Amino acid sequence: MNFLPVFLDLKNRSCAVIGGGEVASRKATLLLEAGAQVTVYAPTAGETIRRWAADGKVRHVKQEFRPEMLDGCVLVIAATDDKSVNRQVSDAAKARNIPVNVVDQPDLCTFIMPSIIDRSPVIVAVSTGGSSPVLARLIRARLETLIPAGYGRLAKLVVKFRDRVKQRFSHPPRRRQFWEEVLQGPIAELVYSGQDAAAEKALQRRIEAVDGSQAPVGEVYLVGGGPGDPDLLTFRALHLMQQADVVVYDRLVSPAVLSLIRRDAERIYAGKERDNHAIPQEDINHLLVRLAKEGKQVVRLKGGDPFIFGRGGEEIDTLAAEGIPFQVVPGITAAAGCAAYAGIPLTHRDYAQSVVFVTGHLQDGTVNLNWKALVQPNQTIVFYMGLHGIDTICRELIRHGMPSSTLAALVQQGTTRNQRVLTGDLETLPSIVDQAHVKAPTLIIVGDVVELHGRLKWFEPTAAN
């Protein structure tokens, strides 16, 4: 992050606005709405500032800027049309360790004024770090349509009953689950429809009806995290990641996807690399059982899809045997995601009418695959975890009848800003891996469809978000 988003308590605190025009009045409006005591420093002022000063809303000092004007202030905004004055304000504020914002000059700012959605006490702030106020405004407009006006009243209802709920529920996870049910159910809908009194009565009845001492019931959600791009997550996956108490995640889950986990959720790394398992699979199975029996909502987050070479079946088999409730949320598997972002259709009427997914994970230097079944005309083969055994894979495919000139592609870190796509054939692929220093995670695609990469590639990693 270029800026840390914070919310300042400015009630009855001194803030200075340098400049008296309409831009200055707009900034002063925000400070006044936050309860600040605002002093405007400007030799002349526009109609809005003059009217506020006459009404006693602000203090207007008709003087040119001097650094000592900032003494005692907790926040400063410079909104003049004189760049030299704005710079003086910035320098003086920084010398006094006072947060300063200079309108339309982010290089002189120590904080950025965001685009604001006000549902007090719920406040949403959107910022582009000063790079594009128009984009921030467009994002805010989009969010305005998603956040009902009743959110503010709903938050006030929560505040009113917060202590009572805290006393009722001895288990913090159960308390959080209670509020999630309330804030997404009929009580919230009563507030949105303006029936605040009915919502209050319904919430009181709900509190009295539940057994707050009862330990929460845990559940495990086996969630596919997709191939790397967070925009490829399903809505269901994101929802569960946001409400989980604990997330057990794999090495192939991208940092961008991990950043979407609920901030205060516990995170447990259970990644696996070849010959280096952070937690053995059997221990992971029992870990999920233990966490659920503690009453926690557990997300088991896997790269790609949990049922395609993700060992998800083994994990839910253990959960079922232990009587632990579970759900499975599919994800876009690496084959689909990486191939799409590489511009390589896995099937095509002119090139391939079938596709097969194969694990290339080697044990004891051998691959136990049905090579004859793989060496079929008009078929695309996608190898997962095949990088270490690339020599064996290419050799065996050729030995069982596949032409050495058969096209193949390596897609490293597909769908992410670090994506690399390298193409060759079965003869050259092993040397490409060595010479280009290809590293895991890399998907191997073998078949005539690779020819389409040159024409259909569309994703430019450097242009990724």
- The runs of H, that is alpha helices, within 96-209 are 133-146, 151-168, 172-183, 186-192, 196-209
Strand partners for 423: 409
**Catalytic: which of 57, 94, 156, 272?**
272
- Tokens 């606005």, located at residue: 17
| Measured distance CA(153)–CA(102) in Å, rounded | 34
**Catalytic: which of 27, 229, 245, 250?**
250
250 has catalytic annotation: yes
Sort strands 75-78 and 14-18 into parallel, antiparallel or unpaired: parallel
Question: Residue 309: left (phi > 0), alpha (psi -120 to 50), or beta?
Answer: left
Cis peptide before 121 (omega within 30 of 0): yes
| Measured distance CA(117)–CA(114) in Å, rounded | 10
Neighbours of 84 (CB within 10 A): 8
| Measured distance CA(46)–CA(24) in Å, rounded | 9
Strand partners for 293: none
Distances from the Cα of 33 to the Cαs of 109, 113, 116, 126, in angstroms?
A: 22, 14, 12, 18
Could you tell me the strand order of the sheet in which 442-446 lies? 354-359, 379-384, 442-446, 407-412, 420-425
Estimate the crossing angle of helix 196-209 against helix 151-168, to 10 degrees.
20
| Measured distance CA(77)–CA(31) in Å, rounded | 10
Torsion of CA 12, 18, 20, 23, to 10 degrees: -90
372 has catalytic annotation: no
Residues annotated catalytic, as ranges:
250, 272
